[in-house]
Chain A
């Protein structure tokens, strides 16, 4: 589904992502882990078009997407969230979702003026869908609340709801469980499982290792911009290089 080939990103003298090649096949949930500063978020930025590539190519559903602007990549069905939750604070939860609906005729000025009927029908359909999604992420009572007034956890859920509204084929989540409580993590896991059941593929960056072991079918491990492991989560925990990346080498520790 998503293939990354020989991708490199340099910031001045620092190589943040160094010849990474990985293939996220038709796996339900794939994890990307690694110590802080290993280049995971940079790789996400490159996949979604927010950073340009210094080298390499990225394919999504067998189409080359590297070098395209973020909005066209998003329109092809790959939608992301951000490491720090980014709701639209001065818009209601409902409007947060509605604005994510894909391919809206009402965003073109000529149809605003000349095809009001079509836009009204579209809006009604989007509103119904948004209600279902709010129900799915348990935010229905807050639909008319400004998103900026929701709690941190609710904002996380809203952000995931917003991604769903965009009808993605694959979603990229950058640390979805960072800073939320264990109950909410369970809730989130259920939501993510529900998504894979609907055929949506998930690629996520995560620091919570037990969670990764629980939900991911496949993991990639990065360290200092390089890919050091790919395979099953259980194997990753046994892998010498992965342990070294997280804990340091014995002689260095001494």
Chain B
């Protein structure tokens, strides 16, 4: 039972994370390969502040602000680039952030990580806190879902799609492409920061090893598998990926093969991404479903 709660909580956190990436990837068409950086910045900000004695909700709010500011900072150089080059810049940014966590020991304790991150006082501690934490995650996921959907159907969401479809047309129609992309990245980063801080307060221990390229690929897989540019896609993708990952634990694999399985997992995700891109690039839920009928 507790195990099921655990999976659900992780899936919900990943759903928030995936929805935040979807804002950039699905709507604005920005291939951000460093999205984990904002997840990490959110996690560390919230963890450090609450370890310093700040109330958890305040720490989470600060995490969102910090991640949003980092997103704005990244935009200044990275959005001068387009397409693949933007992807590479974000990839490098995420690596810089990870190395910062690893090396600035005075702040982050480096590879030792930060243990004992408190949970919000009202959810309790230890195993007993799980049901309430699930409720917290559920509330936040639903709010984020409604928020993202509200933005996506607004003229702002439509303008992002114009930028995704054709930047030159967007400019010719009077859209400030740089500003629209920046706002998408900042909004995505803020929500990724929220997901990261939820993660930190749930797991209660974080270290730089939690925020590697693997995490970016995983969340990318959630979005692409579920259906980018749709509201339900990232949520569906997050649940599918997390449940698949947990189901692997029950495979009857001999113990001495275990060390081979971990690297294999990454290969399976990579392969899954390639296959989806080739066979069904729009994901399980297609953005264009309705228009196909008529």
Q: Is the CB of B174 within 8 A of A166?
A: yes
Q: How far is the CA of A49 from the CA of B168 in the complex (A)?
A: 11
Q: Is the CB of B165 within 8 A of A90?
A: yes
Q: Is the CB of B291 within 8 A of A92?
A: yes
Q: Is the CB of B171 within 8 A of A145?
A: no
**A71-B176 CB under 8 A given contacts A88-B166, A109-B183, A144-B294:** yes
Residues of B within 8 A of A70 (CB): 168, 171-172
CB-contacts of B66-80 with A (<8 A): none
Q: Does B109 contact A (CB under 8 A)?
A: no
CB-contacts of A42-86 with B (<8 A): 48-50, 69-72, 74-75, 79-82, 86
Q: Is the CB of B187 within 8 A of A86?
A: no
**A107-B168 CB under 8 A given contacts A75-B174, A144-B294:** no
Residues of A within 8 A of B177 (CB): 71
**A91-B165 CB under 8 A given contacts A71-B174, A80-B172, A144-B291:** yes
Q: Is the CB of A145 within 8 A of B154?
A: no
Q: Is the interface of B mostly helix, strand, loop or mixed?
A: helix
Q: How far is the CA of A50 from the CA of B156 in the complex (A)?
A: 23
For the complex formed, measure the closest distance between the CB of B155 and the CB atoms of chain A, giving whole angstroms: 3
Q: How far is the CA of A71 from the CA of B172 in the complex (A)?
A: 6
CB-contacts of B156-201 with A (<8 A): 156, 158-159, 161-162, 165-166, 168-177, 180, 183, 187
Closest to B177 in A: A71
Q: Is the CB of A86 within 8 A of B166?
A: yes
Q: Is the CB of B172 within 8 A of A88?
A: no
Interface size on B, residues (CB 8 A): 28
Q: Does A102 contact B (CB under 8 A)?
A: yes
For the complex formed, measure the closest distance between the CB of B165 and the CB atoms of chain A, giving whole angstroms: 4
Q: Does A1 contact B (CB under 8 A)?
A: no
CB-contacts of A92-109 with B (<8 A): 92, 95, 98-100, 102-109
Partner of B155, one of A69, A107, A145: A107
**A162-B287 CB under 8 A given contacts A88-B165, A91-B165, A106-B155:** no
Q: Is the CB of A82 within 8 A of B156?
A: no
Residues of B within 8 A of A123 (CB): 155
For the complex formed, measure the closest distance between the CB of B148 and the CB atoms of chain A, giving whole angstroms: 12
For the complex formed, measure the closest distance between the CB of B199 and the CB atoms of chain A, giving whole angstroms: 26
Q: Is the CB of A99 within 8 A of B154?
A: no
For the complex formed, measure the closest distance between the CB of A119 and the CB atoms of chain B, giving whole angstroms: 7
Q: Does A112 contact B (CB under 8 A)?
A: yes
Partner of A145, one of B162, B170, B174, B294: B294
Q: Does B288 contact A (CB under 8 A)?
A: yes
Q: Does B100 contact A (CB under 8 A)?
A: no
Q: Does B151 contact A (CB under 8 A)?
A: yes
C-beta contact mask, A134-162 vs B, less than 8 Å → 1, else 0?
00000000001110000000000000001
For the complex formed, measure the closest distance between the CB of A127 and the CB atoms of chain B, giving whole angstroms: 11
Q: Does B85 contact A (CB under 8 A)?
A: no
B residues touching A (Cβ–Cβ < 8 Å)?
A: 150-151, 154-156, 158-159, 161-162, 165-166, 168-177, 180, 183, 187, 287-288, 291, 294
A-B CB contact pairs (8 Å), 11 listed: A71-B171, A71-B175, A72-B174, A81-B172, A88-B161, A91-B158, A91-B165, A99-B173, A106-B156, A109-B187, A112-B156
Given contacts A95-B161, A99-B159, A99-B162, 5 further A-B contacts (CB under 8 A): A74-B172, A86-B168, A106-B154, A107-B155, A144-B291
A residues touching B (Cβ–Cβ < 8 Å)?
A: 48-50, 69-72, 74-75, 79-82, 86, 88-92, 95, 98-100, 102-109, 112-113, 119, 122-123, 144-146, 162, 166
